[in-house]
Structure 1
């Protein structure tokens, strides 16, 4: 088998593990990578403004993806896939990073992490509408229970009303869920890394121009944290995280994989304390723990 053959055929799970187990492991790795995104973004914002950080992370990630695509001589996707790739690009390459970067200028990492706990529910909803598959009643009850906890936490933390940061975060949930759903569908037709790779390439011309304009308006002040944060959100969250995430979704299904992200708020709370030194509100770990319990329920619920 040639390198090109290996690159262009849909990814398979490693020998010796079932597709379901292997897919769960891959999706779990994606969740771990994503859980570091908010702390890394906060570090990145030490050196860059929100607009320049998003443009630079997308540009760097696109260059990494482009190098792989070029070396492996991966052919262009079929024309029928470009609309879906545009949804992925708009949702997970541009929309989610930009909206969350704007939110983290006023919201703490721990608060944002718990709010983003709603992502599994929004992703499952988009998946049901897009694919026509209907998860079981138990699945929806568990997902809605997790969502109710997150909404209650958000209102309690914001004094009964939503802040501008919360509105950015809720907008990020919608666009990211759309991108996850479309990416999961495309990952059944091509390797997951090619899904995010071509989505990044699609954005590259705009992101290069955006980087130049944003850096002129938001001059960079380089620090070690800022550079590390930029590198991680580009290589770790945007490329590696989405690669294993889409592979996992292709193996176990979008609704099941999306519920693994209920663990993401709890992981991000750990990073916010250990890496950023944030002091958690008493409600944050309680809310994160409550939504984590929903994982076991949703994973046992049959579609």
Structure 2
């Protein structure tokens, strides 16, 4: 019987890691797509529109599958999720991408595992081992060192916006993962989008640009990606992974996001991926392996 419990636990952890990895792969396209979109769209309009599109899809999904409404005590957590990942992170990154390249901004995402783990302790009650923090801190310092000290890559405004986006996103991830254990992973992001929808719709109408008809097809396709995949589908996998495998542990998979994102930046945007970027990415991959071993 004990062996069966261990087997189920290991199976749940493995499932959590696979779901988390799927979420990371989907999220990896977010910043390159946002970079494309902000070339012709105002960051505020882009943020409000993507949340509105995803919110309408969330309403349809909730109604079609006849999901129960969240309890009143869960509304504060849903509001935190909405402020963190529906509004805060998309808006701050869209603003930052006016100042830095997507390749540069992607490297800041290496700080997300540390932020997520810290909020996992504060909000989720997790207690990773000391070795976990050493590996997580090492990975974060590798990324931060590259982002801040590489010659010609620093933008004070862009970097400050990216750091702020990491903080609010880490909070939104941890809060959403905690709530997923009660409400379900995809339900959490759907209800967060629905709570935000009235404000997002009004804000979208207020910020519609005069030359909207002149926006090119690639920008609309980029908007479609960040609306459907970055705001909805990715979170279905991500919150399920965090809830099943642990916020701090699965959160370390975000250290792999620069690897996937840099490849997309080089492929889609013809941005330069230097050997230093590749070395940093390999270093953080080793940190993921180490932190996974000591997360519990």
- The TM-score with structure 1 as length reference comes to 0.91
Q: Determine the C-alpha separation between the residues in 1 that align with 2:124 and 2:269.
A: 40
Q: Determine the C-alpha separation between the residues in 1 that align with 2:96 and 2:253.
A: 23
Q: Does 1:182 align with 2:158?
A: no
- The CA deviation at 1:49 is 1.3
Per the alignment, residue 217 of structure 2 pairs with: 224
Among 233, 246, 249, the residue aligned to 1:253: 246
Per the alignment, residue 8 of structure 1 pairs with: none
Per the alignment, residue 162 of structure 2 pairs with: 169
Q: Quick one: structure 1 residues 201 and 150, their matched pair in 2 at CA, closer, same or farther if it must change by over 3 Å? A: same
Per the alignment, residue 29 of structure 2 pairs with: 36
Q: Determine the C-alpha separation between the residues in 1 that align with 2:251 and 2:138.
A: 15
| Equivalent residues of 1:52, 1:218 under 8 A apart | no
Q: How many residues align?
A: 288
Q: Determine the C-alpha separation between the residues in 1 that align with 2:286 and 2:295.
A: 17
Q: Determine the C-alpha separation between the residues in 1 that align with 2:69 and 2:210.
A: 35
Larger fraction in helix: 2
- The CA deviation at 1:75 is 2.0
Per the alignment, residue 56 of structure 1 pairs with: 49
Q: Determine the C-alpha separation between the residues in 2 that align with 1:238 and 1:161.
A: 28
Provide the alpha-carbon RMSD of the alignment. Answer: 1.7
Per the alignment, residue 244 of structure 1 pairs with: 237
- The TM-score with structure 2 as length reference comes to 0.93
Q: Quick one: structure 1 residues 131 and 105, their matched pair in 2 at CA, closer, same or farther if it must change by over 3 Å? A: same
Q: Deviations over 1:28-59 (max 9, x none)?
A: 11000100001111222234211111111000
Q: Determine the C-alpha separation between the residues in 2 that align with 1:265 and 1:216.
A: 32
- Helix, strand or coil: the match of 1:107? coil
Q: Deviations over 1:167-214 (max 9, x none)?
A: 000000110000000000011001211100000001101110111111
| Equivalent residues of 1:143, 1:298 under 8 A apart | yes
- The CA deviation at 1:159 is 5.7
Q: Does 1:147 align with 2:140?
A: yes
Per the alignment, residue 73 of structure 1 pairs with: 66
| Equivalent residues of 1:109, 1:272 under 8 A apart | yes
Per the alignment, residue 7 of structure 1 pairs with: none
Q: Determine the C-alpha separation between the residues in 1 that align with 2:136 and 2:78.
A: 27
Q: Determine the C-alpha separation between the residues in 2 that align with 1:234 and 1:106.
A: 22
Q: Does 1:201 align with 2:194?
A: yes
Q: Determine the C-alpha separation between the residues in 1 that align with 2:222 and 2:34.
A: 6
Q: Does 1:267 align with 2:260?
A: yes
Any stretches of 5+ residues in structure 1 without a counterpart? 1-14
Q: Does 1:100 align with 2:96?
A: no
Q: Does 1:121 align with 2:114?
A: yes
Per the alignment, residue 91 of structure 1 pairs with: 84
Any stretches of 5+ residues in structure 2 without a counterpart? 1-7
Return 50-59 or 17-26, whichever deviates more.
17-26
- The CA deviation at 1:225 is 0.9
Q: Does 1:212 align with 2:212?
A: no
- The CA deviation at 1:215 is 1.0
